[in-house]
């Protein structure tokens, strides 16, 4: 029981270190991609965490138990990086509730599309951020002529994503009061040859 309590205390110490590490990282360093920075901060927090495990209160843990604690902390850091800063940075759902709050608690349902097109994309610099992330991730390149092209990695991820959509997203999903499979193939009703293609 004592070792379990020590492990829980150590994990709580890691969470504090990870939050502090992330806070310092985003305030002292330049950030290219929020998710990658959150992961880097979580990994950096493992260094002082490993040192904490070597201090007197945690000497009762065997070396393998300390290694297990470090592995659990690393997974916790990964979960925190995805679950908090990345979700808030990318989430349309959070934007919607923040926008409702900004507008006094209510927006007409018939105007939601307008809010998305006229405000969300501009206020969150959505295209700039997503292009920056994809270039940093190596999935696209932006050519000097202004054409955005998929890399081989981008082709692989796009194909994997489409495969997952087709086979592992729900066929009966509640969307605005009706069950639909519309998001299994969202491109099913796209324009056949839009005028924005690269020549």
Q: How many Cα atoms within 13 Å fall on the side-chain side of residue 149?
A: 11
Given a cut of 70, whether residue 1 has pLDDT beyond it is no
6: nearest Cα among 42, 78, 55: 55
Average pLDDT, the chain: 89
pLDDT, one tens digit per residue, over 146-197 is 999 999 999 999 999 999 988 888 888 888 888 888 888 888 877 776 778 8
Distances (CA, A) of 173 to 93, 165, 183: 17, 12, 8
Q: Where are the domains of the chain?
A: 2-90, 91-137, 143-193
Q: What is the dihedral of CA 72, 74, 77, 81, to 10 degrees?
A: -130
pLDDT-based confidence at residue 18 (cuts at 50, 70, 90): very high
* Entry pTM: 0.76
């Amino acid at each position: 029981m004592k070792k379990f309590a020590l492990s829980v205390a150590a994990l709580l110490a890691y969470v504090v270190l990870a939050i502090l590490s992330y806070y310092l990282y985003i305030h002292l360093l330049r950030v290219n991609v929020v998710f990658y920075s959150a992961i880097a901060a979580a990994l950096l927090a493992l260094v002082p965490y490993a040192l904490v495990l070597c201090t007197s209160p945690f000497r009762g843990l065997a070396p393998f138990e300390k290694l297990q604690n470090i592995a659990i902390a690393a997974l916790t850091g990964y979960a925190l990086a995805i679950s908090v800063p990345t979700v808030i940075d990318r989430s349309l759902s959070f934007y919607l509730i923040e926008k409702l709050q900004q507008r006094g608690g209510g927006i007409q349902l018939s105007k939601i599309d307008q809010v998305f097109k006229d405000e969300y994309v501009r206020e969150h610099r959505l295209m700039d951020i997503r292009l920056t992330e994809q270039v940093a991730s190596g999935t696209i390149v932006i050519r000097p002529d202004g054409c955005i092209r998929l890399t081989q990695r981008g082709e692989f991820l796009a194909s994997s994503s489409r495969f997952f959509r087709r086979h592992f997203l729900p066929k009966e999903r509640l969307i605005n009061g009706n069950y639909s499979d519309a998001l299994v193939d969202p491109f099913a009703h796209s324009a056949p040859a839009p005028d924005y293609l690269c020549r």
